[in-house]
Amino acid sequence: MIKAKPKPMEEIIDNVKGFSKLLIAGCDGCVTVCEAGGLKEAKVLAAALRLYFTQGGKQAQVDETSLTRQCEKEYLAQLSDRIDNYDAVVSLACGCGIQYLAEMYDKKVVFPGVDTCFLGVNEERGLYSERCQACGRCILAETGGICPIARCSKRMLNGPCGGSEGGKCEVNKDIPCGWELIYERLKTLGQLERFETPTVPKDWTTSRDGGPRKIVREDLRI
C-alpha cells in the first residue's frame, strides 16, 4: 500500500493561515491504514487548526470529511455540492489523491496535508517499510520473492556489492542487505543455482524513464 506521514503542522499552518473557510479532506484508502490521512487524522488536524485560528483571534471555519478514495472521480464527486463553501482544501490523501482532487476542482486551492513516501508494508503499527518501487516489470520470480530494486540501496541486479557486511548494507547498518536476503531465501528454497546465471540488464523503459506512465486495459474499458 501507499505509505505517507503527516506533514509538519507548521508547514500546514503556513499554507492555510491566509484562509478562513477550510475543508480537511481525509481519504479512507491507504493513508488511513498508516494513520496519516483518514477521518480520524482529518478530525485531529481540523481541531488543531480551529484552536490555532481561535487563539489568534481569527474567525475561521474548519470542517472535516473523508472520502472512500480520493483517487477516483466517483468518490471525489461527493464533494461537488459543498466544496464551493470553502476557500481552500487540505487533502490528507496520498499524492495521487491530492492531485486528482485538484484536477477535478480546478478552481479550488488544494494543499497537501501528508508527505507521500513509498509503497510499503505494515511491519507493525507505526512501523512501515518499503517493498516496491513500481518499476513496471516485476522480477520477483527470479529473486526468491525479494525485490532487489526496492530492497538493495543500489538497485543492483547481480548483488551483493562489496558494501554488504554481516548481512547489512553499507548505507546504514539498520538496513538489511537486499541481496543477502535474496541469497538466504533462495538457499531455503533450494534454488541457489540461480546465482550461476547472471541476470540480464533490466528493461527500465517501464519505469520512470519514459515519463509519466499509463496502463491501458482495453479488456476492461467500456
Partner 1 sequence: MRLQYPPNVRIIEVPCSGKVDILHLLLAFEQGADGVIVVGCMEGDCHYLAGNLFAKKRVQRVKEILDQVGLGGERVGMYNLSSGMGPRFAEIIREMTQKIMELGPSPIRIAKGTAVRAAGEVAA
- Positions touching partner 1 (CB under 8 A) are 9-10, 13, 40, 43-44, 47-52, 54-57
Residue 65 or 207 having the CB closest to partner 1: 65
Residue 65 or 133 having the CB closest to partner 1: 65
For the purposes of burial, counting CB atoms within 10 Å of the CB of 173, is it exposed (0-12), middle (13-18) or buried (19 or more)? exposed
Residue 13 or 119 having the CB closest to partner 1: 13
Rounded least distance, CB 191 to partner 1, Å: 42
Burial 192-216 (b: 16+ CB within 10 A, else e): eeeeeeeeeeeeeeeeeeeeeeeee
Residue 55 or 205 having the CB closest to partner 1: 55
Rounded least distance, CB 123 to partner 1, Å: 18
Rounded least distance, CB 115 to partner 1, Å: 16
Residue 51 or 171 having the CB closest to partner 1: 51
Q: Which residues pair with 165 in a beta bridge?
A: 168
Residue 51 or 138 having the CB closest to partner 1: 51
Rounded least distance, CB 157 to partner 1, Å: 42
Q: Distance between CA 39 and CA 68 in Å, rounded?
A: 10
Residues 6 or more apart in contact with residue 99 via CB below 8 angstroms: none
Q: Distance between CA 63 and CA 53 in Å, rounded?
A: 13
Rounded least distance, CB 41 to partner 1, Å: 10
Rounded least distance, CB 58 to partner 1, Å: 8
DSSP 158-186: S---TT-BTTB-SS-TTSBPHHHHHHHHH
164 close to 175: Cβ distance less than 8 angstroms: no
Helices 39-55/9-16 angle, 10° precision: 60
